[in-house]
């Protein structure tokens, strides 16, 4: 094991003061309740048409479950199983989904950091899965375990995240068979937050659960959700054994599963928005129903990753209007089923942290928030269609999370009457800058971002003419240099390190 992560970095000077003030000023997000009404893109009649089309797909075409355990369980439940094809009747699907909790709590090593995931709440999770980073020098390169640790340090210190990404960027310098061990280790050491474990196969899922139990205790995890397992489907209409094995491991341990069809519009779905939604929904319903079949009452999230595909290049396109409409309808469907749902918050296809990156991510953020998504995934760092995690953008997105949270809370009338009294006091031609109500309320009434620049041109030049990417990289460096790993009992840390060492000895590092 690399013992560097056990050492507390030296802290001092101006950067320490900056980090301390930021930590004091903005506490980490907890449960966020929506105060806005969701955008609805289709009528009740149109929604019913999509819902019935999804059920027809399940009944007439079916879903392939490429997993012997799942096929056996479906057969025993009375489903029509023909080879790997499973055809499901509507009553069975909907009765199974009705067993799922509509809301559940997630917790962490910090007892104050509990939050609820539910159809009326918003949650932010960091990016996942990038094989490359754009580092603190602005250079694009393959990501390493050191980069992953830095990303987790940023996640821990920035207040705009509820859930650590787990595999925010892939440690490509660690052998693939060992990689999940180091990913989980970093999540547990660098953060005290709920995090994403690994679901790509039973062994990796079991290791994720075992490492969580070392830190949290088995009894605690039996009663509390501290991890999410991201289970991805293979569109069109396939769920495979690798992911289903991970699903079962997580629900058996009372942890959360996120079930996400993977939609590339017009590539693995029809070139039509409502038909794409109908297929996506059928895939999601099949996995959601299976989760309740194998573990009634399991905590689960209706997931989906949706982008359209460029017919010129075949590349995924972020921030497109069709995806915004898909988000709105998925929100309507998930609320119909009484389930929390997930979208992608900050996705971009840009090759650098530029205007395209900002435009696409802003559209994705507002698309999810306006549709009242309950888990805003990839809400930090996503560029190049997920191939790059940009450290500068990660910092900018963390601040955007706070702005989007303020929007999602909606308008409060708590101080409305007092504010109207200020109108009476000031009257025509006056100003409110020195009014007592303004002095009491301005910090909470109108949010004031720090990363976005509002200086005059002359002030900006005096401060070094820094663009946003440079400001974000500098802030990231300050935060990383001042990260303090959350406390962990030395005996627990020793057991966690020993587990990784033992499993590496048991697992061949060879890909053969």
Provide the residue range defining the domain that includes 420.
Answer: 416-445
pLDDT at site 19: 43
pLDDT at site 22: 45
Residue 281 placed within a domain? no
pLDDT at site 12: 38
User: How many residues comprise the chain?
Assistant: 512
Average pLDDT score over residue span 308-320: 80
pLDDT at 13 over 60: no
Residue 429 placed within a domain? yes
Average pLDDT score over residue span 220-227: 96
pLDDT at 294 over 70: yes
pLDDT at 279 over 90: yes
Answer whether 197's CB lies under 8 Å from 213's CB: no
pLDDT at 6 over 60: no
Residue 294 placed within a domain? no
Q: What is the pLDDT of residues 130-142, one digit of tens each?
A: 999 999 999 999 9
* Least confident piece of the model among 17-26, 172-181, 220-229, 305-314: 17-26
Question: What's the chain's average pLDDT?
Answer: 92
Token pair for 434: 């020195």
Residue 143 placed within a domain? no
pLDDT at site 276: 95
Q: What is the pLDDT of residues 92-151, one digit of tens each?
A: 999 999 999 999 999 988 887 899 999 999 999 999 999 999 999 999 999 999 999 999
d(CA 47, CA 369): 20
d(CA 153, CA 150): 5
pLDDT at site 16: 43
pLDDT at 23 over 70: no
pTM of the model: 0.92
Residue 486 placed within a domain? no
- pLDDT class of 324 with cuts at 50, 70, 90: very high
Token pair for 205: 């899922």
Q: What is the pLDDT of residues 85-94, one digit of tens each?
A: 999 999 999 9
pLDDT at site 493: 97
Q: What is the pLDDT of residues 55-75, one digit of tens each?
A: 999 999 999 999 999 999 999
User: Helix (H, G, I), strand (E, B), or coil: what is residue 52?
Assistant: helix
For 509, counting Cβ atoms within 10 Å of its Cβ (0-12 exposed, 13-18 middle, 19+ buried), the class is: exposed
Token pair for 449: 């971002």
- pLDDT class of 329 with cuts at 50, 70, 90: very high
pLDDT at site 307: 83
pLDDT at 1 over 60: no
pLDDT at site 138: 96
DSSP 415: T
pLDDT at site 510: 82
For 503, counting Cβ atoms within 10 Å of its Cβ (0-12 exposed, 13-18 middle, 19+ buried), the class is: middle
Residue 390 placed within a domain? no
pLDDT at site 511: 60
- pLDDT class of 25 with cuts at 50, 70, 90: low
Among the listed residues 486, 422, 478, 412, the one whose alpha carbon sits nearest the alpha carbon of residue 445 = 412
Residue 424 placed within a domain? yes
Residue 494 placed within a domain? no
Name the domain count of the chain: 1
**Share above pLDDT 90 across residues of the chain, in percent, rounded to a whole number:** 86
User: Helix (H, G, I), strand (E, B), or coil: what is residue 161?
Assistant: coil
Q: What is the pLDDT of residues 369-378, one digit of tens each?
A: 999 999 999 9
């Amino acid at each position: 094991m690399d013992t560097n992560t056990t050492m507390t970095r030296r802290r001092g000077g101006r950067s320490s003061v900056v980090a301390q003030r930021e930590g004091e000023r903005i506490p980490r997000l907890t449960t966020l309740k929506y105060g806005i009404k969701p955008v609805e893109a289709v009528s009740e009649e149109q929604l019913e048409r999509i819902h019935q089309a999804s059920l027809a797909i399940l009944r007439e075409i079916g879903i392939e479950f490429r997993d012997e355990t799942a096929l056996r369980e479906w057969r025993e439940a009375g489903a029509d199983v023909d080879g790997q094809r499973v055809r499901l009747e509507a009553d069975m699907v909907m009765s199974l989904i009705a067993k799922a909790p509509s809301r559940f709590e997630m917790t962490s090593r910090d007892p104050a950091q509990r939050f609820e995931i539910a159809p009326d709440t918003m949650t932010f999770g960091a990016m996942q899965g990038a094989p490359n980073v754009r580092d603190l020098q602005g250079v694009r390169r393959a990501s390493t375990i050191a980069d992953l640790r830095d990303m987790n340090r940023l996640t821990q210190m920035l207040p705009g995240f509820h859930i650590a990404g787990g595999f925010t960027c892939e440690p490509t310098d660690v052998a693939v068979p060992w990689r999940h061990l180091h990913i989980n280790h970093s999540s547990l050491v660098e953060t005290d937050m709920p995090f994403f474990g690994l679901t790509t196969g039973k062994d990796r899922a079991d290791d994720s659960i075992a490492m969580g139990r070392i830190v949290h205790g088995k009894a605690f995890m039996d009663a509390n959700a501290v991890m999410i397992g991201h289970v991805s489907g293979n569109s069109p209409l396939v769920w495979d054994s690798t992911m289903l094995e991970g699903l079962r491991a997580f629900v058996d341990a009372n942890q959360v599963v996120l079930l996400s069809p993977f939609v590339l519009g017009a590539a693995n779905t029809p070139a039509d928005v409502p038909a794409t939604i109908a297929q996506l929904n059928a895939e999601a319903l099949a996995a959601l129903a299976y989760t309740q079949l194998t573990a009634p009452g399991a905590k689960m999230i209706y997931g989906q990753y949706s982008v359209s595909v460029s017919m010129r290049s075949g590349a995924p396109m972020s921030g497109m209007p069709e995806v915004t409409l898909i988000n709105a309808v998925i929100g309507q469907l998930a609320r119909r089923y009484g389930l929390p749902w997930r979208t992608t918050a900050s996705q971009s296809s840009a090759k650098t942290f530029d205007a395209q990156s900002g435009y696409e991510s802003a559209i994705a953020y507002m698309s999810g928030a306006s549709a009242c998504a309950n888990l805003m995934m990839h809400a930090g760092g996503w560029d190049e269609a997920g191939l790059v995690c940009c450290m500068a953008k990660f910092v900018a997105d963390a601040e955007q999370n706070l702005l989007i949270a303020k929007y999602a809370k909606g308008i409060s009338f708590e101080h409305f009457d007092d504010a109207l009294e200020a109108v009476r006091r000031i009257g025509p031609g006056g100003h409110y800058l020195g009014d007592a109500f303004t002095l009491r309320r301005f910090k909470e009434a109108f949010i004031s971002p720090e990363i976005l620049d509002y200086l005059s041109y002359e002030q900006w030049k005096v401060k070094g003419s820094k663009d946003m990417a440079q400001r974000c990289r500098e802030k990231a460096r300050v935060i990383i240099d001042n990260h303090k790993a959350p406390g962990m009992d030395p005996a627990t840390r020793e057991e966690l390190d020993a587990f990784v060492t033992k499993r590496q000895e048991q697992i061949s590092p060879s890909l053969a």
